[in-house]
Chains A and B, each alone.
Chain A
Amino acid sequence: MTEPKIRFDKVSKRYGSLTVLDRLDFEVDEGEVVTIIGPSGSGKTTVLRVLMTLEGVQDGVIWVSGEPLNKMQSKNGMVPANKAHIRRIRSRIGMVFQNFNLFPHMTALDNCIEAPIQSLGLSKAEAVERAEELLAMVGLAEKRDQYPSQLSGGQQQRVAIARALAMRPEIILFDEPTSALDPEMVGEVLSVIRALAAEHSYTILLVTHQMGFAREISDRVCFFDGGKIVEQGLPNELFGNPQNSRLQQFLSKVLEAR
């Protein structure tokens, strides 16, 4: 029996009286590409944020490669994880944000070498070599000395992807990576993600409203509503023959809008 790469075990996340994740059970296998779709406010971003440890959870355990993320083993059983434990586990995870969140006071290259040097302890030469490779991979080798303000949205997001990959994560989270982009720049970012997904060397969790893209690259699609997975399955089944009425409504709305 192989451990799933990511496992949510009855995870609950509340903001005050608002329950955003409701005893969520959710698994992702190693190398799997899973897309999360669902209406706004259904908790898609929250799933990624608690996995990235940007938010804590009230209940349940999140497992990464068989190790608990928000808890740790001690002689008294499971206790809340401390910072060192969280840092160790989350080093396997990278995240790409809707608004890029590049460091505006650093060039594209510096954005990509900052964490490898400061967090992984790479030498500058090693980090630069790695960053240059990745910038070339996302097609931005010649933009290495540009600041984020000098790049288009699509270019910024590609730098952000290179920056995340520079940490050699095993899991990459994408939160609506193209939602903040002008339409003509969506394609260049999607093609980078498509290439990563095709490799299957990363476990990928993607939140998107690009249904065509989700259908094309995903191994599995999950439909979220009200902090729960309401329906999930192979992309062709889920999009071609949706069972749940809320999913049917959601899909017809999304497709209408296009």
Chain B
Amino acid sequence: MNVRYSAIAALIAFLLGLAVATFSELRIFLPALLRGAAVTIEISILSAILFFSMSFIAGIGRLNSIRPIRWISTIYIEVFRGTSLLVILFWFFFVLPSFGVVLSPTQAAVLGLGLNFGAYGAEVVRGAITAVPKGQKEASAALNLPDWKSTLRIVIPQAIPIAIPGLSNLTIEMIKATALVSAVTLVDITFASVQQNQIHYRTLDIFIVAMVIYYCFSQLIRFGGAILEARMTRHLARPH
């Protein structure tokens, strides 16, 4: 239900934005904004891959029975949650070269966003894993499954649907945070909007279009997450 309402809201917002943009000769600035949107999408997709991977690696690692693995995961989570994303981006782009590591703007942005949000995602995944009833682990042990198989095949598949709402919220947060990548010289929607505004002085239309684009991305993720969750919990609902 909620999903359908937000999809309709997204559509209306999109049409409204389109109308406003049309009236104000969007032709002059839209191409630049769309190029920016393409950068935002590229960075978002690449960062999301790293973000999800790190969420699961560190989330599972934090619950591992081997202590050093737990420590490394905890240190990673604490460092990247406890520092500002902007500073992390500066680090990857401006500080690492002085240690001989030179990253392209895209590499720096993807690493910064992916690792930063992966640290938050790890906490979501950890919470989801601990929410799986402990009887599941016990049944696996009683069936003599090795620990890692019980984690991988029994616990994680049940933790994923629990983690989806949290991870899809974080994905939306991450897409919005891509607005910071201009710090490493990338021209994303936000930076493209700023540039276009400096050239054309059409503040209202430009930023309405930028907002609508962000909003559509967010809704897309929310919608996708909800569908995925519904699919994965199809068989889990307990009738009694």
Contact = CB atoms under 8 A, between A and B. Distances in A.
A53 B141 contact: yes
The list of the 4 closest CB pairs from A to B, nearest first, reads A115-B143, A101-B139, A147-B235, A101-B135
Contacts of A163: 143
B136 A118 contact: no
A52 B235 contact: no
A101 B150 CA distance: 13
A99 B237 contact: no
Contacts of B44: none
A53 B143 CA distance: 11
Interface of B: 133, 135-136, 138-147, 149, 153-154, 157-158, 235-240
A183 B90 CA distance: 66
B132 to A, nearest CB: 10
A83 to B, nearest CB: 8
A102 B133 CA distance: 11
Interface residues of A, number: 28
18 contacts: A52-B138, A52-B142, A83-B147, A90-B144, A94-B142, A95-B142, A97-B135, A97-B138, A101-B135, A104-B236, A105-B158, A105-B236, A114-B145, A115-B145, A118-B149, A119-B149, A147-B236, A150-B235
Interface in A164-208: 164, 167
Contacts of A102: 139
A72 B145 CA distance: 21
A103 B240 CA distance: 17
B153 A54 contact: no
B143 A104 contact: no
Contacts of B138: 52, 54, 97, 101
B142 A119 contact: no
A91, A149, A150: most-surrounded residue (chain B CB, <10 A) = A149
Contact of B139 (A87, A90, A103, A105): A103
A235 interface: no
B142 A164 contact: yes
A52 to B, nearest CB: 5
Interface in A112-147: 114-115, 118-119, 147
Given A147-B235, A149-B235, A167-B144, A118 B139 contact: no
B157 A105 contact: yes
Contacts of A94: 142-143
A87 B235 contact: no
B141 A54 contact: yes
Contacts of A87: 144, 146
A105 B238 CA distance: 12
A119 B135 CA distance: 18
Contact of B136 (A91, A101, A119): A101
B143 A164 contact: yes
Given A115-B145, A149-B237, 17 more contacts: A52-B141, A53-B141, A90-B141, A90-B144, A95-B142, A97-B135, A97-B138, A97-B139, A99-B135, A101-B139, A103-B136, A114-B143, A118-B146, A118-B149, A119-B143, A147-B235, A147-B236
Interface string A61-100: 0000000000000000000000100010011011101010
Contacts of B146: 87, 118-119
Contacts of B149: 118-119
B158 A119 contact: no
B119 to A, nearest CB: 28
A43 interface: no
A153 B145 CA distance: 24
Given A105-B235, A149-B235, A118 B145 contact: yes
Contacts of A164: 142-143
Contact of A167 (B143, B235, B238): B143
Contacts of A104: 158, 235-236, 238
A83 B139 CA distance: 17
